[in-house]
Amino acid sequence: MRKILMAVAIATLFSTSVSAVTYRLFVHGRSGDNHCTTISGTGSATADHKNYWGGTVTGLSNVRYIGFDGTQSGGAYSWNTCGAQRQLYNALNTFCRTGNNCEIYTHSTGGLVASRFLRYYSPASYGWNILRVQLMANASGGSELADFSTSYLGWLGFDTMGGQLDQSVSTSGARSWDHNSANGLTLYTTSGEGTDYLYATSPLLPAKDDGVLANHSLCNVNKVSAVDVSCTRGNATLRESYACGFLWLSTCYRYHYRWTPYYTVYQGGGGWSHRDAKKDYNRR
């Protein structure tokens, strides 16, 4: 009898391990459309609702598109129905438990959604099995374009779509909480910095940028600053040289320190824009 019970237990364990699925969750960025769909089971969220990703996600199995309504109160931090935080919570509970695993991939403001969530909710405490988190063109440091939208355009009475979404992704809103913890996870990031040409929006962004985000956000720097060097691989301090001293003949250095859990795996280089960064989910 004991042998029979042991055989059943082994067969059950083997069956569970074989049936485990790794789901790839793709969380979108800022958009003028409501990408929210109901997440009711593992068969949900298979379609790119309202076409945010535009067919760039290819060659992966078990892809799930985690859409949200950016106009909900709280913006990227919203827990309302279809709010960004609520949708990610529902997705993790649906796809990342009971023996299944998840990889999370985000673009732009989606990085702010995920990093904020993982700062305050521990996967170990909730039973979420998260294998990887990759933030593409990461907006966790905020964007000066959102600063402009919420200040000048809002003051002039324009509906900037963003409302509270732009407030949350402004440089002050995105940095209003401590980024130096992700509850034990590493947040891998890629940038979309295009260094070979000037974007029309670049005058609103300090130093190097990808047309939407400056390198202080793309490189995971712990304060808003004009980062005029590219994101190096890893998490080491960025050193930037500049002319100084008598008649500007000497060389001085400024240093940019990066948040602890973030780790850069790819810097796009010349011509690799904010939009192009959607394709970087396979970068390692």
Q: Which CATH architecture has domain 21-220+261-282?
A: 3-Layer(aba) Sandwich (3.40)
- The CA distances from residue 70 to 32, 77, 185, 192, in Å, are 8, 10, 26, 22
Q: Which sequence spans correspond to the domains of the chain?
A: 21-220+261-282
- pLDDT tens readout for residues 217-259: 999 999 999 999 999 999 999 999 999 988 778 999 999 999 9
Give the model's confidence band at 18: pLDDT under 50 very low, under 70 low, under 90 confident, else very high: low
Residue 142: pLDDT over 90: yes
Following DSSP, what letter does each residue of 75-120 receive, concatenated?
Answer: GGG--STT-HHHHHHHHHHHHSSTT-EEEEEEETHHHHHHHHHHHH
192: tokens are 């979309």
Give the model's confidence band at 198: pLDDT under 50 very low, under 70 low, under 90 confident, else very high: low
Rounded mean pLDDT, 21-44: 96
98: tokens are 């009971």
